[in-house]
Amino acid sequence: MQRVKEQLAREGLTPEDWGGDIITVPISAITGQGVDELLEMILLVAELQELKADPQAPPSGVVIESSLDATRGPLATVIVKEGTLRERDVMLVGTAYGRIRALLDDRGRRVSEAGPGSAVQVLGLSDVPGAGERFEVLPDLMEAKRIAEARLEELRRKRLEKSRRTIEDILREQELAQAKRRVLQIVLKADSAGGLEAVRNELKSITVEPVQLEFLHEGIGNINESDVLLASTAKDAAIIGFRTSVDDKAAKLADQEGVPIRVYDIIYELTDNVKKALQGLVAPQIRETKIGEAEVRHVFKIPNVGTIAGCYIRDGYVLREARVRVKRHETVLFDGVLASLKHFTEDVKKLEKGKECGIKIAGFEKVQVGDILEFYTREVVPRI
């Protein structure tokens, strides 16, 4: 509940108990708890604000949910705000239009009309509208089609303009490449427009620097072959489904193309796994820890062995598997690993401060008396 209130506040809707004027009622869709109180509060607000609608006005309202049914086609659940919506009316909503074939109430029963405040499911649209889009009723089907097609053309034009590469885009891409930023591209499918919007918003809130999340495609319905083909053309791409299923042909093609498909019923499992995938693309941080320091006091040239540095450990300790930096007058000459660590003639794994030792540095033969050997370890630290 606290999280919902925070989201409302970010949208400028401050709850009453936070000093605002927005009534909030905790409810449970599973147990039914709070539903009666919610309905009472709705009626109270409507009465206090004198909210009224004209059933004779031109029908209009808003889409609260939509989906694509395999047998019935596009479905839209709408709330009528003004007028009376009837079967055979011509509806226009966004880029979708059509003559209403049927109206279904909340129990799936067919009704002939729906007045102000009614929620009904509409069958007969040309496409799946987006949740939150407003609808209106027009007198002519051809007029609705003309307007819908004009809106679709305008939408395509804006998408085309957005996709055009400018000089700024190219420079930005170069900057990203230099920073070695990575991108996880996803094809997102959901069972409904509301579900799609909810998942999209949750995914956009995920931040895992320096990796970016990019949506290749978003849609409603089952995951199909087209989705797999699109994902297969991109690097580090995956298909994410929310409360939807995978067509058999799509599953087979995904196996062939090596495209991962994940389907979830719980939104937080989906977002958690996408976040883990993003973290998996991040190059881990390397943490260095200095463990010791030694001074080179003797240099021995041994045939068939190479240069051995006779050292005195003046700080910390030395590990056989540690890395070493060779410093001369504070300048780093070499950075590498040990080939051997000996105490007199005995091979050892660790020596403490105050001990003398013989060290051979792998790949470096130019060590001199007075050089300082700095020993350190490296630890991989995942970015969170």
Handedness of CA 303, 305, 307, 313 (dihedral sign): negative
3-class DSSP assignment, residue 24? coil
Reported as half-sphere exposure (CB side, CA atoms, 13 A), residue 219 has a value of 16
Q: Classify residue 96 as exposed, middle or buried by CB count within 10 Å of its CB (0-12, 13-18, 19+).
A: buried
CATH fold of the domain at 286-381: Elongation Factor Tu (Ef-tu); domain 3 (2.40.30)
Q: What share of the chain is helix, strand, coil (3-state, %, to 5)?
A: 30, 40, 35
Residue ranges of the alpha helices (H) in the chain?
Answer: 2-10, 35-48, 141-163, 167-178, 193-204, 225-232, 248-257, 267-281
Intervals of CATH 2.40.30.10 along the chain: 60-155, 286-381
Q: Which residues of 199-234 are buried (b: 16+ CB within 10 A; e: fewer)?
A: beeebeeeebeebebeebeebbbbbbeebbebbeeb
Contact 181, 212 (CB under 8 A): yes
Domain 60-155: CATH architecture, name and number where available: Beta Barrel (2.40)
Intervals of CATH 3.40.50.10050 along the chain: 171-281
pLDDT in the model for residue 384: 44
pLDDT in the model for residue 53: 85
Q: Which one, of 279, 351, 363, 264, lies nearest residue 313 by Cα?
A: 351
pLDDT in the model for residue 168: 57
3-class DSSP assignment, residue 255? helix
Cα distance between residue 192 and residue 162, in whole Å: 26
pLDDT in the model for residue 200: 92
Q: In a structure prediction context, what are the per-residue pLDDT tens digits for the chain, which is 384 residues long?
A: 788 888 888 888 888 888 888 899 999 888 889 999 999 998 888 888 888 888 999 999 999 999 988 889 999 999 999 999 999 999 999 999 999 999 999 999 999 999 999 999 999 999 999 888 999 999 999 999 999 999 999 988 877 776 555 555 655 665 555 445 578 889 999 999 889 999 999 999 888 877 788 898 999 999 999 899 989 888 778 999 999 999 999 999 999 888 999 999 999 999 998 888 887 776 667 889 999 999 999 999 999 889 999 999 999 999 999 999 999 988 999 999 999 999 998 999 999 999 999 999 999 999 999 999 999 999 876 554
Written as six digits, the tokens of 352 are: 């403490």
Q: Which one, of 280, 87, 96, lies nearest residue 184 by Cα?
A: 280
CATH fold of the domain at 171-281: Rossmann fold (3.40.50)
